[in-house]
A and B are shown apart, each in its own frame.
Chain A
Amino acid sequence: MKALNMIPLFVIVPLAAAFLNSLFGRYMRRFAEVMTVVSSGLMLGLSVYARILLESAPDKILVYKLGGWAPPFGICMVLDGFSGLMLVVVNLVAFFVAVYSVGYMEKYTDKPKFFILFSLMVCGMNGVAMTGDMFNLFVFLEVASVASYALVAFGTGEEELEASFKYAVMGSVASSFIFMGIALLYSFTSTLNMADMARVLSYRHSVWVVPFAGVLFLAGFSLKAALIPFHAWLPDAHSSAPASISAMLSGVLIKTLGIYSLTRILFNVIGAGQGYLKALMFFGVISIIIAGMLALRQSDFKRLLAYSSISQIGYIILGISLGTPLGVFGGLFHLFNHSVMKSLLFLNAGAMDYSTGTRDLKEAGGLDKLMPLTSKTNLIASMSISGIPPFSGFFSKLIIIAACVQSGHFGYALCAIIGSVFTLSALMKARKLAFLGEIKDRMRGVKDASFTMKISMVCLAVMCAAGGLMLLPPFRFFIETASGVLLKGTSYANIVMKAVLR
């Protein structure tokens, strides 16, 4: 099969899996789980294969025209370095979380519906990563968002419903902002295709329409990415959701819907001026510091991890908005690392919740002896996310700090280092309270997690430890192509339009 024809499969296969699940999920017992695991495994293999095939394509870009209609009249799907990176990240985390959910969702009722919504969310995220059309981006963004609103409320307990309501209201407000921005850009450029829009915007300058649309996008996508001061929904939603959904939300959803869309539109369509980049750098740095401090006083394990997520997203935004090659490389590398690390941490918290029935750190204790595998993977993930060599997190944070120093922002580099200290102390607090120490009385009969949960945690831990190998020359192309796409800026549109004609 040609590489070009594989592109729509990323949207078709999860969608078909969701619909077939919905038809047959109630009749055969294990149908939903097997179908979802098989489809996400297929997607993982396909995304790695497509990324490798991309290296041999001319200009390293593949454009698929939906329905045979050529842009700017039709919708196109673009597979380039950045999309390829996001696809691999999304499908990797989705596969391991699907395997984990086979064991974890035993505690909830109505498992087939969970896997239907899960497949729909993966389909939406794949669509966001692949599309080359502004309104198509909005549609897939909404598909993934609505599926995630429903998934956060899946347990229908009191806390889950309250968290889901807050998340849904804030997410809808952000989507309205984004839609208004798209409407304004369409009125100015009279086209919806991203590459065509970039071309029109490069020779037509506007006084207030495009900056207004840019600010609307900044507000809307920052809320989806949970930067401070738009973060208020994240701690509630990520702590009340089932653990596999917390891992998906924190690991890939806020990165695809927030960071990928924001940087794609800001760098490749509107053109990143210094105003936007300075604002994003500021948001990133205050996210690192404030969320790091807020994580220290939490006693709920998942809430602590949620605040730590906001802090790490601040790192990614700081790295990308520096605008220098080293900065963008560091930011994207940290995006890849953080997806793996944070998913592993949330899966650990889920294993603790599954076995002991509580998420409160003050009630747990001494789990190191009762759940050895969970404890060891937790150690690997904590060390990696705090930036301790030789795990992967160390390299990405080092590159970001070096890039800050290189462009002269010494204060920001100092804040990044302080944030790393906060992260280390918050995760060490969690580890000390939950895993080390004396075994409390009510924890006596606790067993370790079930088989599928253990497999996915081990695989993610291996990738966490080996993530530093991404910097070696055979693998460096993976992230270097992605950062190259962003750094070309609006002239990237010419490459896309040339590829369309092929």
Chain B
Amino acid sequence: MTGNYSREDMSLVVKTASRLTAGIILIFGLHIILHGHLAPGGGFAGGVIIALAFVNLLIAFGKETRLSRISENVASKLETVGAVMFLAVALLGFFGGTFFMNVMTKGEAFNLFSAGTIPLSNISIGLKVGVGLFAIFLALVILERSRK
């Protein structure tokens, strides 16, 4: 179970702390994504924070136990869903007028449900970046060692 090198596990403090804070980090990332049109942040920054929640778990528990519930195939598919959502939001504008145009109602300023299609773009970018970064990390870590 230890592979071809012996290494100590992460200590109990690290494991417990990362398990307890993973949910909080996820919610914080979601908050940054959803308020992207009101406060600094937006899709990319929130997506990175979401990815770091999963990466935290992976680093603390090691790649064998797979505590995170997303495997490589699911991550790859979710990432593409995020990309397709973003293209769909842009195409909404294309069929309504010009490409990328804002076709939903822009509510009053400073509300959460305002600014047309920008929150939708933020959510799809957040999904793509979050899952995508985690998939990159998985691909770099779970590389099969080839024979030399």
Contact = CB atoms under 8 A, between A and B. Distances in A.
Direct contact of A and B (CB under 8 A): yes
Interface of A: 8, 12, 15-16, 19-20, 22-23, 64-68
Given A8-B94, A12-B94, A19 B87 contact: yes
A67 B102 contact: yes
Contacts of A8: 94, 99
Nearest to A77: B99
Contact of A67 (B80, B83, B87, B101): B101
Interface string B93-123: 1100111111000000000000000000000
A67 B81 contact: no
A403 B51 CA distance: 58
B63 interface: no
A65 B98 contact: yes
A67 B93 contact: yes
Nearest to B102: A67
Interface string B66-99: 0000000000110011011001001101100111
Interface residues of B, number: 17
Given A22-B80, A23-B80, A66 B100 contact: yes
B87 A66 contact: no
> Which of B80, B93, B97 has the most C-beta atoms of chain A within 10 angstroms of its own C-beta?
B80
A387 to B, nearest CB: 43
B80 A12 contact: no
Interface of B: 76-77, 80-81, 83-84, 87, 90-91, 93-94, 97-102
17 contacts: A12-B87, A12-B91, A15-B87, A19-B87, A20-B84, A22-B76, A22-B83, A23-B77, A23-B84, A64-B99, A65-B98, A66-B99, A66-B100, A67-B99, A67-B100, A67-B102, A68-B97
Given A12-B87, A12-B91, A66 B81 contact: no
Contacts of B77: 23
Contacts of B101: 67-68
Contacts of A66: 98-100
A290 B100 CA distance: 47
Contacts of B91: 12
Contacts of A68: 97-98, 101
Contacts of B87: 12, 15-16, 19
A66 B91 CA distance: 12
Given A22-B76, A67-B98, A67-B102, 20 more contacts: A8-B99, A12-B90, A12-B99, A16-B87, A19-B80, A19-B84, A20-B84, A23-B77, A23-B80, A23-B81, A23-B84, A64-B98, A64-B99, A66-B98, A66-B100, A67-B93, A67-B100, A67-B101, A68-B98, A68-B101
Nearest to A8: B99
Dominant SS among interface residues on chain A: helix
Contacts of A20: 84
B69 to A, nearest CB: 21
A20 B100 CA distance: 20
A16 B77 CA distance: 15
B119 to A, nearest CB: 16
Contacts of A16: 87
Contacts of B81: 23
Contacts of A67: 93, 98-102
Contacts of B80: 19, 22-23
A12 B100 CA distance: 11
Of all A-B residue pairs in the complex, the 10 with the closest CB atoms, nearest first, are A8-B99, A67-B100, A22-B80, A68-B98, A68-B101, A23-B80, A67-B101, A19-B83, A19-B84, A66-B100
A66 to B, nearest CB: 5
A482 B97 CA distance: 30
Contacts of A19: 80, 83-84, 87
A68 B116 CA distance: 14
A64 B99 CA distance: 9
A51 B81 CA distance: 34
A245 B90 CA distance: 30
B83 to A, nearest CB: 5
A127 to B, nearest CB: 12
B146 to A, nearest CB: 9
Nearest to A156: B146
A65 B80 CA distance: 27
B91 to A, nearest CB: 7
Contacts of B83: 19, 22
B62 to A, nearest CB: 26
Contacts of A65: 98
B97 to A, nearest CB: 6
B116 to A, nearest CB: 11
Contacts of A22: 76, 80, 83
A20 B93 CA distance: 20
A177 B55 CA distance: 33
A12 B87 CA distance: 8
> Which of B83, B99, B102 has the most C-beta atoms of chain A within 10 angstroms of its own C-beta?
B99
Nearest to A20: B84
A66 B99 CA distance: 6
A279 B101 CA distance: 43
A389 to B, nearest CB: 46
Nearest to A116: B80
A16 B94 CA distance: 14
